[in-house]
Structure 1
Amino acid sequence: MVVAMTVDALLGWPGALFARIGHPVTWLGRLISLFDRSWNRAADTPSIRRIAGLAAALLVIGLCVALGWMVQAVLPPGWTRVMVLGILAWPMVALRSLYDHVAAVAQPLQSGDIDVARLAVAQIVGRDPATLDEAGIARAAVESLAENASDGIVAPVLWGALFGLPGIVGYKAINTLDSMIGHRSERHLHFGWAAARIDDVANFVPARLTGFLFALVSVRLSEALSCMIRDANRHRSVNAGWPEAAMAGALGVRLSGPRSYHGSITDEPWLNEGARDPLAADLRQGLRLYIRAMALLGGSLVALALA
């Protein structure tokens, strides 16, 4: 996992490589889309659609775990195995990609180019960008940074550290299923129910670990911890509230709150209510906090490996 994190931090997933072969997530996406088209039939009853969605999720996850296990089983022991598994796990870790996407929001926001910042933040969140001012853009980007640090780095690294290639590939299948069919749209309310619940379970520990990592590297340790413990469960998500609340306390800003999706206002509770709104400088500080937290994660893995 340390090899995977290091390679991704240095290279990301190069555009030329993506143009040539795509990315494992896009390959997973095609498989999931195939099941969605074939098994998610509007004419079926809600219970049938739930069973079909559960079967599709288990089949996708099972295939990925089996593939990871077969590849891992044929590798020789020693440093060759470590390096090869690290390279194979590299695409499953979004360390560099997350930083680049959030930095693409921070740079124009800091220079006062709100229109460009809105376009950049629309790439990472689903809320209506036209309704966002500086505080709204910064808040959306900070929330995305906190939540995706858990989903995109800590969770796959943790499952990979525990179970090797089958663990990280299996987790990536779970997370991709949730992203594609786990939302509460009319089409996926029943078919994606199982995918969403499996994702909740898979991210339960990583989300809380991410929150503690943010708190531990913050100069506002006590504020981050108290905000996380107090406000995490106020979030609509059973998991996302932990890293987001920790980030809110660490930066001394309020996050979440009402937001607009497709013209409709969603009245979400505030995390760290009473604090000020985040600005461009807070987004930069959030990125620095993210770097320190991920360095702590990697360093902890090195220490465990040496021990």
Structure 2
Amino acid sequence: MSRALGLLLGFAADRVLGDPRRFHPVAGFGQVASRVEARWYDDTRAAGASYTATLVGTATVAGLAAERLTRNHPVAHTLVTAAATWTVLGARSLDREAEAMAGLLEEKDIPEARERLSHLCARDATNLEADDLARATVESLAENTSDACVAPLLWGGVLGVPGLLGYRAANTLDAMVGYKSAKYLNFGWASARLDDVLNLLPARVCALLTGLVAGRPREAISVWKRDAPKHPSPNAGPVEAAFAGALDLQLGGTNSYGDYREDRGTLGDGPTPTVADVRRTAALARRVGLAAAGIAAILAVATRKR
């Protein structure tokens, strides 16, 4: 029960406190990863694979050590699990960014909203207008609900602290180097593929939960099955399609990421998002996160009994 209780306490801490303002462990990991990249970078898949394996492996081993040191001390194990969960989750910070974007768009402060979008995604916002920014925000909220909330909770439920830390390390590296740009096409390949594998099941659980908590499971699943294959990402596709079906919106389109453009297909049958849909999406994402926390606690108890 200590793992389940730790996950729920960590989830509650994230909802109440959000990310640590200073000395964030994930930010510290990112700084270390940047230094390692500066030393190890080479435009080859082999170099990128070594980089990924070393950093993700180190984080996972640290989690294993924490589990081993506290396995016979339930209170300590609960607290360590809670701290790790709080560290790796980003649901509250995601919610805050949604609130900030909604406020800026409602105030029609388009220049500031374009700047703020960089907190959610790497999309080039230079020429985006209000509805374009709303669509980008809705899509980013959907994708990051899976990446920053559902996936770490599920991995924590099954594997505990090693699952939490290992997943967050892999996801952070994907966000840093997993781009199809000239610089990272080869070096970031391993990070991107590992993140794809780790999110394969959680993304589909997130898509299913989205339809269920929205009260529109048939619509969400229908759009997911029909439109997700159009999306270039094997995991963002199901999640964004499910959000589109659950919210009765049409997502997708062609996005610019600096030196390359990406066609994400058309997801859903409703109207394209407007400013009002940002808060709707954030509310749905909160409910999905709560449901995922409950499932993670159940998984923790079920796997422990085995």
Report the TM-score, using the length of structure 1 for normalisation: 0.90
Q: Deviations over 1:272-305 (max 9, x none)?
A: 1x42111111111111111111121223344556
Q: 296-305 vs 283-292, which deviates more?
A: 296-305
Whether contact under 8 Å (1:89, 1:168) holds in the other structure is yes
Distance between the aligned counterparts of 1:167 and 1:302, measured in 2? 14
Residue 147 of structure 1 deviates from its aligned partner by 0.4
3-state SS of paired residue (2:271) = coil
3-state SS of paired residue (1:172) = helix
Whether contact under 8 Å (1:54, 1:195) holds in the other structure is yes
2:10 match: 4
Residue 216 of structure 1 deviates from its aligned partner by 0.5
Match of residue 106, structure 2, among 94, 105, 110: 110
CA RMSD of aligned residues (A): 1.9
**Closer, same or farther in 2 for the Cα pair 1:306/1:132, shift >3 Å?**
same
2:170 match: 174
Q: Deviations over 1:166-219 (max 9, x none)?
A: 111011111111111221222221111111111110110111111111111113
1:40 match: 41
Distance between the aligned counterparts of 2:300 and 2:115, measured in 1? 42
* Structure-to-structure mapping, 1:70-219, within 5 angstroms: 70-75=65-70, 76-219=72-215
Q: Deviations over 1:246-283 (max 9, x none)?
A: 111111111110223337654431111x4211111111
Whether contact under 8 Å (2:158, 2:296) holds in the other structure is no
**Closer, same or farther in 2 for the Cα pair 1:279/1:61, shift >3 Å?**
same
Letter in 2 for 1:224: A
Report the number of matched residues: 295
- Mind listing any 5+ residue stretches in structure 1 that lack a counterpart? 43-48
Distance between the aligned counterparts of 2:49 and 2:124, measured in 1? 31
1:288 match: 283
Letter in 2 for 1:77: H
3-state SS of paired residue (1:259) = strand
**Closer, same or farther in 2 for the Cα pair 1:116/1:226, shift >3 Å?**
same
**Closer, same or farther in 2 for the Cα pair 1:194/1:140, shift >3 Å?**
same
2:4 match: none
Distance between the aligned counterparts of 2:147 and 2:284, measured in 1? 17
1:24 match: 25
Match of residue 57, structure 1, among 44, 52, 58: 52
3-state SS of paired residue (1:270) = strand
Letter in 1 for 2:10: A
Distance between the aligned counterparts of 1:181 and 1:115, measured in 2? 27
* Structure-to-structure mapping, 1:234-245, within 5 angstroms: 234-245=230-241
**Closer, same or farther in 2 for the Cα pair 1:107/1:59, shift >3 Å?**
same
3-state SS of paired residue (1:185) = coil
Whether contact under 8 Å (1:215, 1:247) holds in the other structure is yes
Distance between the aligned counterparts of 1:59 and 1:247, measured in 2? 35
Distance between the aligned counterparts of 2:137 and 2:232, measured in 1? 18
Distance between the aligned counterparts of 1:252 and 1:107, measured in 2? 22
3-state SS of paired residue (2:256) = strand
Whether contact under 8 Å (1:160, 1:167) holds in the other structure is yes
Q: 226-235 vs 179-188, which deviates more?
A: 179-188
Distance between the aligned counterparts of 1:96 and 1:305, measured in 2? 22
Residue 4 of structure 1 deviates from its aligned partner by 1.1
Distance between the aligned counterparts of 2:118 and 2:31, measured in 1? 23
1:298 match: 293
Q: Deviations over 1:134-183 (max 9, x none)?
A: 21111000110010111111111111111111111011111111111221
3-state SS of paired residue (2:131) = helix
**Closer, same or farther in 2 for the Cα pair 1:219/1:280, shift >3 Å?**
farther
Distance between the aligned counterparts of 1:261 and 1:69, measured in 2? 37
3-state SS of paired residue (1:74) = helix
Report the TM-score, using the length of structure 2 for normalisation: 0.90
- Structure 1 position 222 matched with structure 2 position 215: no
Distance between the aligned counterparts of 2:51 and 2:288, measured in 1? 35
2:3 match: none
**Closer, same or farther in 2 for the Cα pair 1:115/1:201, shift >3 Å?**
same
Distance between the aligned counterparts of 1:214 and 1:117, measured in 2? 26
Q: 122-131 vs 59-68, which deviates more?
A: 122-131
